[in-house]
Amino acid sequence: MSRLLDQFLAEARELLQGIATGLMQLERAPGDGDAMNALFRCVHTLKGNSGLFDFPEMMRLLHAAEDLMDAVRGGSLAFTPALADRLLGAADLVSALCDQVERGGDTRGPQGEAAVALATSLRALLAPSPEEGTRPLAAVQPAIDLPEAALAAARVHGGGEALHFLRYTPAADCYFSGDDPLHAVRQAPGRIWGRIVAPTDWPPLAELDAYANRLGFELLSTAPREALDRHFRYVADQVTIVPVPPPAPQADAVPDLPALLATQRATLLEADRPDWHPGRVRAVVAVLVNTARQLGRTALAEQLPALGEAFLRDDDVAPLLAAVDALAAHQAPTPEPARAEEPAAARSSLRVDQARIDRLLNLVGEMAVARNALPYLARHAARLDGGRELEREIKAQHAAISRITDELQAAIMQIRMMPVALVFERFPRLVRDLARKLGKQVDLVLEGEETEADKNIVESLSDPLVHMVRNSLDHGLETPEERRAAGKSETGRLLIRAGQEGDRIRIEIRDDGRGIDPARIRARAVERGLIAAEAAAQLSDREAVQLVFLPGFSTAAAISDLSGRGVGMDVVRTAVERLHGDIALEGSPGQGTSVRIVLPLSVAVTRVLVIESDGQRFALPIDGVVETLRVPEADIQGMANGRVIVRRGRIVPLRALNAALGVAAEPRRNSAGELAILVLQRGDEQVGLIVDDFRETLDIIQKPLAGVLAGIDAYSGSTLMGDGGVVMVLNPRRLW
């Protein structure tokens, strides 16, 4: 039963998504017959499915929605945005009811009452209009709860054929029209199960009206729907027929040790003694031995064959049963979690628990780290007498292990990849609702929904993206009147585009709205005390617009209800940076706004460059490193804001890592008097970090920092090196 329910819920969510998509499609193109039919099918299927359960409230609402859609399809009701609102609301309510059911409830309660109320108001829209006359309303079909007995019969029958469940509730006076309902159901085609449903509250026999029918009849049939309809055509108004979904196979529960032990116990207790009895017992013993070994009960495993032979000799089963019980008891309290998980690990499932994948990923990460120890070992070997050959061999092995580890890692990462469509799919509805609320017209264009990224990344993207979409609609896009006045088309355009760039995913949210005014941004930032007036004046327009990412900044004069109070772009930036991503904003007055987010495709393993400063090693994620330079002191120029170098015509501001970390030491120069500079990408800018020396690049897994270190912004984590040392991982975004 719960499998059936799970199936229903999963399908219901798909259908609800289809209904929302269909409604919005129709809203744009009310004459689209295909969209209308697809939508109608979704509603109809969902209504039919909900009829399998005792969800009368959901059924009522879906039935009303179906009738409404039918009226629209038939042309007797116009499809208006207001109608779409009502129907989307109905879909939301059904979705909420599904949630309630999933949490183990039914469809009653406040949500259920709301559903019934909405059903009534939907029906009111259907009330025969004067010109339409007497269009009959389809009766609300009572929900059908498939009786457990019928479900059991369906299971026994097996999953091969399509089954129909039929409920025949004959009218009280049906005998007078010559009906014999029992005869009718007995003659029904394809019947595999049936029962009579009788009331229990019979009146005293003397008061009984034997000719007023109070009996109901139910049956399961393999016959096609049409055949059943034909058979019951004279009493069609008293008959309900629903398809029975293919039954879940019996005993589909995953086999477990207690069940296996119980089976062996039952075999041992069999009273018959056929001539294969000894073999039967020995096979049971073989299973018990396997189980005992698996549980680590080796001593018991060794005793078991003797116990089996003793049973066969003396026909005294007690000692063997005691051994079975000992195994069952060993298993029951699941003393060691690792042990208890063993049988479960043998299941290869299509739906894998995320925790298991994460565990695999951790193991592979650790393997990558262990692999990183090999170059140290090679170097160490090289120093030995005649160690050159050993060094070469270790290096060859390192290459082989590297390749396998990389492939393994990629394979596991692949399992975790999810398309961004999972986040994007909520935008059509969000944009539609916001646009209607704001009186704006918006064309939403989604591109690259199939782009995949790690589950964590995709899931964490959801909130920032929603926020930016709200921002675009709220502040960016103008009302139709404003747009017309500005010489633009009345309908604004919002583009959300995802794409992969190497090992990064890039997401762009672009609108063609009123854009962003750097002058206003500067003024606002100064007014809020986020930046000094002189500093603001020195910023380029491009730099100035990035100020919106500062905490406490909000561009709207009045904080809008829609963007949410007190939540600004700084929250978006924080979320993006937590994922090791970058965010940049672009825009100019009248030209629309574009926000670009670049994120790694996955977060689990970080490729880092190891650097040295003041005699200490640090690691820096390599994805932000543009290049490493050796620059003569003379090439470094002093400017108002500090030291800079010029690279390919761009000014790259410099900062010493020691200074950023509060270390007094001066950067070390090499023998040629050059400084080691790491050029990093920060949004659209490049910045240079002066360090003492560059070392190797490595794949590491970052461990989050704990305790006092966790509060230090400059570090994002730590990692264990191949030589056993602990190295801090720098967070380049927080070094300035």
Partner 1 sequence: MPIRFLKRKAVCTEGVDVEAAETLHGWLLEAPGRSVDLAGCTHLHPANLQVLLASGAPVTALPADADLAAWLSPLLAPKG
Partner 2 sequence: MNPVLIVDDAAVIRTYYRTILTAAGYPVAEVGDGVDALEAALQQPCSLCIVDVNMPRLDGFAFLEALRREPVDQPPALVITTDRGDDIAGRCRRSGANAYLPKPVRPETLLAQVALLTGGRA
Name the residues that contact partner 2, by CB under 8 A.
156, 158, 249-252, 254-257, 260, 263-264, 266-267, 270, 272, 274-280, 282-287, 289-291, 293-294, 342-349
Residues 6+ apart with CB under 8 A from 571: 464, 467
Q: How far is the CB of 190 from partner 2 (least distance, A)?
A: 19
- Nearest Cα to 280, choosing from 294, 293, 266, 262? 266
Contact 677, 657 (CB under 8 A): no
489 touches which of partner 1, partner 2, none (CB within 5 to 8 A by kind)?
none
The residue among 209 and 527 lying less far from partner 1, judged by its C-beta, is 209
b vs e for 611-649, b when ≥16 Cβ sit within 10 Å of the residue's Cβ?
Answer: bbbbeebbbbbebbbeeebebeeeebeeeeeebbbebee
Q: How far is the CB of 7 from partner 2 (least distance, A)?
A: 14
User: Amino acid identity, residue 578?
Assistant: R
**CA distances (Å), origin 636, targets 540, 633, 646, 665:** 22, 6, 8, 19
**CA distances (Å), origin 69, targets 30, 32, 483, 558:** 12, 13, 35, 41
Under the binding rule (CB under 8 A), the answer on residue 148 touching partner 1 is no
276 touches which of partner 2, partner 1, none (CB within 5 to 8 A by kind)?
partner 2
Query: Which range of residues in 195-203, 369-377, 539-547, 563-571 is near partner 1 by CB under 8 A?
Result: 195-203
The residue among 204 and 333 lying less far from partner 1, judged by its C-beta, is 204
Query: Which range of residues in 103-111, 211-219, 288-296, 600-608 is near partner 1 by CB under 8 A?
Result: 211-219
Among 1, 202, 316, 334, binds partner 1 (CB under 8 A): 202
The residue among 150 and 378 lying less far from partner 1, judged by its C-beta, is 150
b vs e for 108-142, b when ≥16 Cβ sit within 10 Å of the residue's Cβ?
Answer: eeebbebbbebbeebbeebeeeeeeeeeeeeeeee
CA distance 715 to 730: 4
The residue among 174 and 469 lying less far from partner 1, judged by its C-beta, is 174
The residue among 213 and 702 lying less far from partner 1, judged by its C-beta, is 213
The residue among 198 and 271 lying less far from partner 1, judged by its C-beta, is 198
Under the binding rule (CB under 8 A), the answer on residue 234 touching partner 1 is no
The residue among 202 and 736 lying less far from partner 1, judged by its C-beta, is 202
With CB under 8 A, what is the number of residues at the site for partner 1?
Answer: 21
The residue among 10 and 138 lying less far from partner 2, judged by its C-beta, is 10
Task: Provide the Cα torsion 371, 372, 374, 376; round to 10°.
Answer: -170
Residue 279 CB neighbour total at 10 angstroms? 10
Under the binding rule (CB under 8 A), the answer on residue 173 touching partner 1 is no
- Nearest Cα to 43, choosing from 6, 15, 21? 15
Q: How far is the CB of 73 from partner 1 (least distance, A)?
A: 41
Pairing verdict, β 693-700 and 606-613? antiparallel
Contact 610, 618 (CB under 8 A): yes
Query: Which range of residues in 79-87, 196-204, 339-347, 551-559 is near partner 1 by CB under 8 A?
Result: 196-204
Q: In what order do the strands lie in the sheet with 593-600?
A: 442-447, 492-501, 504-511, 593-600, 582-587
Q: How far is the CB of 156 from partner 2 (least distance, A)?
A: 6
Q: How far is the CB of 151 from partner 1 (least distance, A)?
A: 16
Among 49, 100, 213, 731, binds partner 1 (CB under 8 A): 213
Q: How far is the CB of 182 from partner 1 (least distance, A)?
A: 5
- Nearest Cα to 164, choosing from 248, 241, 217? 241
Binding site for partner 1 (CB under 8 A): 175, 180-183, 186, 194-196, 198, 202-206, 208, 210-211, 213-215
